[in-house]
A and B are shown apart, each in its own frame.
Chain A
Amino acid sequence: MTLQLAPPPRHAPGRRTAPARRMARFDVKGVPYLLVSPYFLLFAVFGIFPLGYTLWVSLHDWELAGDTEFTGVANYGELITDEAFWNAVVNTLGMFVVATLPQMVLALLLANALNKKLRGRLLLRLGVLLPLVTSVVAVAVVFSQLYSRDYGLFNWILSWFGVDPIIWQNEKWSSWIAISTMIDWRWTGYNAIILLAAMQTIPRDLYEAAAIDGASARTQFWRITVPMLRPTIVFVVFISTIGGLTLFAEPVMFEGNPMMTGGTTGQYQTVAMFIVKSAFRDFEMGYAAAAAWLLFVLILIGTMINYWFTRRIGGAK
């Protein structure tokens, strides 16, 4: 077949082949971008644009369905001296720590247990994921009832020990504990499964060698499992940081009404609640947008600290 084709005329190489060559070059250089572009287009519409627009709004005194006036960075100035905002930041960070630390340890231990040869292992593994598929609102509603003052389960149990009914919403410590248990109940199993998946990629012979050298199960866990899981732990901590710093549904449901004040004196108002309250209860859109940007910066810092921190666990360089 090819034999019958005349070779391309030498004197005019460009005229016929240039488009083809351009096409070929486009195929190599351009098409990959075209193929990944839907994600970036969507990201531009739902990610970049809202980010930019929020920034624009945050530079205004922007009232919902009211007047708008350009005020520069005045909102930010007001925000960083606003006690209520910092109270929300402290609450958010506080609940993040109270919820995440035990959650990580629990998830790790749970994953380790599920990695053993157990009867009905698949069922157990599926079981720890169940809390995740229940709706967060349902979880929060049930837990809020467990923590309710008059007929709540926890106050009932405490009453056996002569403890007076606690209004869980009333103090920072009690409300933080209540909300943290909701978060942990929902997410511990999820993180455990991710860690479990990573654990199964650790070569068996490492453990065998260690066992021959006389390493106990505990030593194996801390010296082999945890260091080998480092990248996964980094991932899990990232996700938990993002989730923790945008905490919203649980405290709102815990409050029992959509006022977004997070308790009578803001005991458990998170930054996300602060933003919604500013925008849609006080109708100060500009102020809310500025708070949203500060939250963004906060998450950036939080994620970076976490990244730095998790790199160092397990004796890595």
Chain B
Amino acid sequence: MKNHKRFVVTGAAMTALLAIAACSGGGGGATPSGSQSSAAAEPVTINVHTFGGGENFGYDEAVKKWNAEHPNIQIKYTNLTDRFEDVYLPQLLQRLQAGAGAGDVVGIDEGAMGLMAARPQFFTDLGQYGLESRKADFPAAKWEAGRNADGKLFALGTDMGGMTMCYRKDLFKKAGLPTEREEVGKLWPDWNAFLETGKKFEAAKTGAKFMDGPNTIYNVILFQEAPKNGNISYFDKSNQLVIESNPAVKTSFDWVTTFSKAGMTAKLQAWSPAWDKAIKGGGFATMGCPSWMLGVIEGKAGESNKGNWDVAAVPGGTGNWGGSWLAVPKQSKHPKEAAEVVNYLTGKEGHVAAFKEAGAFPSSLPAQQDPEVAGLKNAYFNDAPTGQIFSESVKNLQPVFFGEKHAQVKTAVEKVIEGMDQGAVKYDEAWSKFVAAGVKAAG
């Protein structure tokens, strides 16, 4: 009996550990990069791994074209998940640490660029494959963010967010508000006007809420405010947490509180099944829309909602939320070919194809000036001239700096906002809890 007990006890510990190991392993079943030997005749396979909801990076067409033209370098394009911070990023870090399993080309969201730049040991220097020559193609800030702690070029920019406001035409009509995008844009030159419009919408009792949840609008405003406060959000450029002192954070927080107190949000958590359902079923009327969000809406709302969603100017002028980069992990067996693929996908052709497919607005300057981009209309959004709308929204854009722990702080503070909106955190305690959560996450 005594021995028996001991085994039960060690068994308990084992179960605990195994449970944890099992959950953390990810087990994505990704093929190890470059499994084929690079014998001259054998085609090289380059695994491109990305993330994102809906149409995500929008590389289907671009990859098809490349594969047809390059029999010796075949791209295998896999979108691993729609969740970045809590699925894609931890998995990528584990694979980088393990030295196997990461793609030959990996997508990285802006929120983790600080983290990746601080880990130069994991990435190939793209400069040695001649990609330094691409500097003139990108806005300075997008280009500089791709340089790591060693000063080496490790990532090239793909899309950028820009900023617009998506709205449900059918719900606006029901509420007696204008439905044409120019008129809708004129409803809200600034956030005060947006609040007033929201009050009108709520008064009409359509059964839907004015906005999805607190955090989409919070991010929209934060990324508009950050450029007014030295292009920083949670961290300053020396990686010090400035969450409490940066007026950009406080202003965005205050706006969200106002919207939440006015009862205008559907209290939904972005990227949750309930949120998906509401995008499709008309649970809310507006949502802050960086360019990539158009692809998300199209993917989640589906064909049956074509024409219901439209896109107008965002209150408060320009802004940028989101955007990604492509990098080549050092573990890739074919860094040269991978760099060629990066060069192609971040080149004008790749950018234009991605914009057409997923609405992801190019960060590449030649692509932005391409008539195909500037003149593009989005059929799903009632032929909205998205090319022109987003070009307007990124004019004079100042990209925001991200600290090494940006992703962790972002997750932690947004939880507090969510809790406040749903009632778990009291309004008068919310700001202090918000700051405390940020301080803790920053370690």
Contact = CB atoms under 8 A, between A and B. Distances in A.
Interface of A: 43, 46-47, 50-51, 54, 64-66, 84, 148-150, 167, 169-171, 238, 241-242, 245-246, 248, 252, 256-261, 263-265, 267, 272, 275-276, 279-284, 292, 295-296, 299-300, 303, 307
Contacts of B11: 242
B41 interface: no
Interface string B1-35: 00001001111111111111101100000000000
Contact of A303 (B9, B83, B424, B433): B9
A264 B119 contact: no
B13 A258 contact: no
A272 B274 contact: no
A11 B86 CA distance: 79
B136 interface: no
Given A264-B422, A299-B13, A303-B9, A64 B269 contact: no
21 contacts: A47-B14, A51-B13, A54-B17, A65-B96, A66-B119, A171-B424, A245-B16, A246-B16, A248-B19, A248-B20, A257-B269, A258-B83, A258-B87, A259-B415, A260-B86, A263-B424, A283-B90, A296-B13, A296-B17, A299-B12, A303-B9
A296 B19 CA distance: 12
A275 B20 contact: yes
B86 A264 contact: no
Contacts of A43: 14
Nearest to A300: B9
B418 interface: yes
Interface residues of B, number: 50
Nearest to B18: A46
Contacts of B97: 64-65
Given A167-B422, A276-B20, A65 B14 contact: no
B17 A276 contact: no
Given A259-B86, A267-B424, 19 more contacts: A47-B14, A50-B17, A54-B17, A148-B274, A171-B424, A242-B12, A248-B19, A248-B20, A258-B86, A258-B87, A260-B86, A265-B424, A281-B86, A282-B443, A284-B443, A292-B20, A296-B13, A299-B12, A300-B13
Contacts of A66: 118-119
Contacts of B272: 256-257
Nearest to A263: B424
Contacts of A84: 440
A281 B90 contact: yes
B408 interface: yes
Nearest to A84: B440
Contacts of B443: 282, 284
Ranked nearest first, the 7 interchain pairs of A and B with the lowest CB-CB distance are A264-B419, A280-B90, A65-B97, A65-B93, A296-B13, A242-B12, A299-B12
A263 B419 CA distance: 8
A264 B416 contact: yes
A169 B423 CA distance: 11
Contact of B85 (A149, A167, A281): A281
B308 interface: no
Contacts of B93: 64-65, 283
B16 A295 contact: yes
B14 A303 contact: no
B246 interface: no
B388 interface: no
Contact of B415 (A245, A265, A272, A284): A265
A190 B85 CA distance: 38
A280 B24 CA distance: 7
Interface string B66-90: 0000000000000000010111001
B441 A282 contact: yes
B427 interface: no
Interface in B105-128: 118-119, 122
Contacts of A148: 274
Find the residue from B20, B21, B119, B422 having the highest chain A CB count within 10 A: B20
A267 B422 CA distance: 13
Contacts of B12: 241-242, 245, 296, 299-300, 303
Contact of A257 (B8, B23, B83, B423): B83
Interface in B277-310: 283
Contacts of A242: 11-12, 15-16
B411 interface: yes
A65 B94 contact: yes
A256 B8 contact: no
A238 B267 CA distance: 41
A305 to B, nearest CB: 13
B274 A276 contact: no
A167 B21 contact: no
A29 B18 CA distance: 33
B120 to A, nearest CB: 12
A234 to B, nearest CB: 10
Nearest to A273: B23
Contacts of B191: none
Contacts of B94: 64-65, 280
A46 B10 CA distance: 12
B438 to A, nearest CB: 13
B119 A170 contact: no
Contacts of B422: 167, 169-170, 264
B273 A276 contact: no
B80 to A, nearest CB: 13
A123 B304 CA distance: 45
A283 B405 CA distance: 10
Contact of B21 (A50, A252, A267, A307): A50
Contacts of A257: 83, 86, 269, 271-272
B100 interface: no
Contacts of B177: none
B10 A47 contact: yes
A256 B5 contact: no
A86 to B, nearest CB: 14
Nearest to B283: A150
Contacts of A279: 20, 24
Contact of B20 (A47, A272, A284, A299): A272
